[in-house]
Amino acid sequence: MIELKGVYKEYASPETTQAVPVLSGIDLAIDAGSSVAVVGPSGCGKSTLLNLIGALDTPTKGQVILDAQDLSRLDDRSQSQLRNQKVGFIFQMHHLLPQLTVLENVLVPTLANKHADRAKDTVRAKSLLEQVGLQDVTAHLPSQLSGGQRQRVAVARALINQPKVLLADEPTGALDQATAEQISDLLVEIHKTQGVTLVMVTHAKSLAARMDKLYTLDKGRLVPSAENRKLKTEN
């Protein structure tokens, strides 16, 4: 489903002429329908890794393959279509549009498809909002919701186009512990019931431990957790 081959990522430094290395030869294979967590210190490149998988950024060197498509071979338009149709994004901050209602926010990703069935999309959006427990606030604006409710809207929005891959960047990082646990439960439930491939970066050890595989990113290298070997032995 997802494969990274020898992926390097560097950024230009505003202070020197030398590039700053972020990722240094990442090799990773993620099976369809599995769940993966990536942990590591702040600034180590976890978000960069997600952005590469989701075609929001391009590697300096190496290949990123998503659903049998080499992202480096796609033009900007094709990458945009892939992101819209096959990838759902959940960020630490919900990024809801303040002027739109809850229902309208969930429907935003469908607007890129000129041939979409608007009535069918609306029915699906309402169904998703019911799944995340927000069926009673579909007409509310984001300002009328709690932080946890806003993140639930973001989850529903990420799922509206029935993506094959769900990328979550610190999805509970801005929430209190009780609300974070609720969002964690929701993500795990969605992964299990909908069969979506879930890849997340998180500082929450309890959430990371609920994924099928756990990796640590440090100094540009991705290291599998000892727990992965334990799971492989048990399976």
- How is the chain split among helix, strand and coil, in percent rounded to 5? 40, 25, 35
Cα angle value 191/217/95 (rounded, 5°): 55
Residues 209/181, Cβ–Cβ less than 8 Å: no
Identify the structural domains of the chain with CATH numbers, from first to last.
32-55+88-234 (3.40.50.300)
pLDDT digits (tens, 9 = 90+) for 116-164: 899 999 999 999 999 999 999 999 999 999 999 999 999 999 999 999 9
Mean pLDDT of 7-27: 89
Per-position DSSP letters for 161-210, written without gaps between them: T--SEEEEESTTTTS-HHHHHHHHHHHHHHHHHH--EEEEE-S-HHHHTT
Cα–Cα distance, 8 to 59 (Å, whole number)? 6
Cα angle value 129/132/135 (rounded, 5°): 40
pTM metric for this prediction: 0.89
Cα–Cα distance, 6 to 173 (Å, whole number)? 29
Cα–Cα distance, 159 to 170 (Å, whole number)? 17
Of the pLDDT bands very low, low, confident and very high (cuts 50, 70, 90), residue 187 is very high
